[in-house]
Amino acid sequence: MSMTNGGLEHKIKHLYQQNRRTVGKYSYTIPSSKTYPYQWLWDSCFMAITMSHFDIAQAKQELRALVSKQFENGMIPHIIYWQHTDVPDHLKIAWGKRQTSSITQPPLLAEAVGKIYAADGDIKFVREMLPHIHNFHRFFYRDRDPRKSGLIGIINPDESGEDTSPRFDQALELGPSWTLAENYAARMELVEDWREARFVVRQRMDLKHWVRDLPFNCVLLESLNITARLAGLAGEGHVAEWALEHAEKTSQAIREKMVADDGLFCSTMNWGDKELKINIRTWALFMPMYAGLATHDEANQMVGMMSDPDFFATSYGVPTVSVDEPSFDLENTWPWPNWRGPVWMGSNWMIAKGLRRYGYDEQADQLRDQSIQLIEKSGFREFYNPFSGEGYGAEGFTWGGLVLDM
Ligand code: GLC
């Protein structure tokens, strides 16, 4: 049975209502009631983007709740524990602080504000959010780029949002065969290390994990460009100028320093006093299209890989890791999120945006249709098998709502 578009929208609205929580004057949406009962940074942005299509007032509330816990140094934490809720044991993570976590996630805030503005033209809301976005950006260049390279580093795989991606295996110093439990333990050790370092990155870059992650830097780049546009409209010339200047610097740095052996883009990491390229093919490859950084030739090459069954062409969307990678793995699915092959709606959404940006509408439509088929077949799940469409991980997971924006 196929869902009509109206039926799908209805299901998404219903899920979002079920996952909405209110604490005092704030309301926010949890990613999944059994598994993820708090507010997460990039999840909230995905949800605001989704809600910009049917509930703008709530989309704004979502972001207001998110920025209400912004740190003084501008960082927005990746989790806000609004209220105590029992979670499964493996999620009882102490992320270094009491009411929030101590790390961040990809800065999709400007993207979400831009979508809301496109839906209702409320420039006052843009003005309300701009200082938060600007301070968040300034945090990255001040605290996460101590050598002024134009590229910002992440201090834990969880900051990328792709907790278990093989892009971080080497940085975690995990040997060739390890269990997800070991991966998890290594990530938790990092939280401890950084807590001991009081989260001061300067002079601590020899610590284990300093990865200049490609998707993260691409999201930041796009965030700066969106901010420049919004700040221009809001008459905030200084903010617009600052954003453009930093966008220019970062896009040049990505071009110069993040190029893999195969000529495509890649993440890099510190290893002792060396800077290494991370030559592992993941969906990150396509992020320069999302950020508008790729040339048309590069985009063409990327789309070629996306439509090649030896790499990324499967029945249901784009797998998070190329099927030819030794780390490609669809087996390990519970209780940890698997970013080593399964399809996720958040990555599908970013890839679809990149495809449209470069005029690949047919491919973007196909990705949207495949994403809808996943929901029809397996419901709103955290991630999916790219060959069978089987759903895994959390249930009632909100990211599926993004199909409304695809
Ligand atoms: C998992 C995902 C992460 C997400 C979180 C909440 O940890 O890997 O990206 O933010 O769940 O949904």
> Looking at ligand 1, which atom is closest to the CA of residue 31?
12
pTM: 0.96
Q: Please give the structure tokens belonging to residue 185.
A: 């333990």
According to DSSP, residue 321 is labeled B
| Candidate of 30, 32, 34, 43 to mutate for ligand 1, largest count of ligand atoms within 8 Å of Cβ | 43
Separation between Cα atoms, residue 347 and residue 350, nearest integer Å = 5
| Helix/strand/coil percent split, the chain, to 5 | 50, 10, 40
139's CB contacts (< 8 A; 6+ apart) are 71, 73, 74, 75
Rg from Cα positions in the chain: 20
> Looking at ligand 1, which atom is closest to the CA of residue 339?
8
Q: Are 20 and 399 in contact (CB under 8 A)?
A: no
Q: Are 139 and 75 in contact (CB under 8 A)?
A: yes
Q: Please indicate whether residue 383, judged by its CB atom, sits closer than 6 Å to ligand 1.
A: no
Q: Are 189 and 133 in contact (CB under 8 A)?
A: no
Separation between Cα atoms, residue 293 and residue 222, nearest integer Å = 9
Q: Please indicate whether residue 37, judged by its CB atom, sits closer than 6 Å to ligand 1.
A: no
Residue nearest ligand 1's atom 1 by CA: 337
* Rounded distance from Cα 298 to ligand 1 centre (Å): 30
Cis peptide upstream of residue 335 (ω within 30 degrees of 0): yes
What is the full per-residue pLDDT of the chain (406 aa) written as tens digits?
345 677 999 999 999 999 999 999 999 999 999 889 999 999 999 999 999 999 999 999 999 999 999 999 999 999 999 988 777 766 667 777 778 999 999 999 999 999 999 999 999 999 999 999 999 999 999 999 988 999 999 999 999 999 999 999 999 988 767 787 888 888 888 888 888 877 776 656 556 678 999 999 999 999 999 999 999 999 999 999 999 999 999 999 999 999 987 888 999 998 877 889 999 999 999 999 999 999 999 999 999 999 999 999 999 999 999 999 999 999 876 667 899 999 999 999 999 999 999 999 999 999 999 999 999 999 999 999 999 999 999 999 999 999 999 9
Separation between Cα atoms, residue 46 and residue 63, nearest integer Å = 10
Q: Please indicate whether residue 31, judged by its CB atom, sits closer than 6 Å to ligand 1.
A: yes
- Cα–Cα distances (Å) from 54 to 123, 204, 254, 302, in that order, read 19, 45, 36, 33
Alpha carbon dihedral 69, 72, 75, 81, in 10-degree steps, equals -30
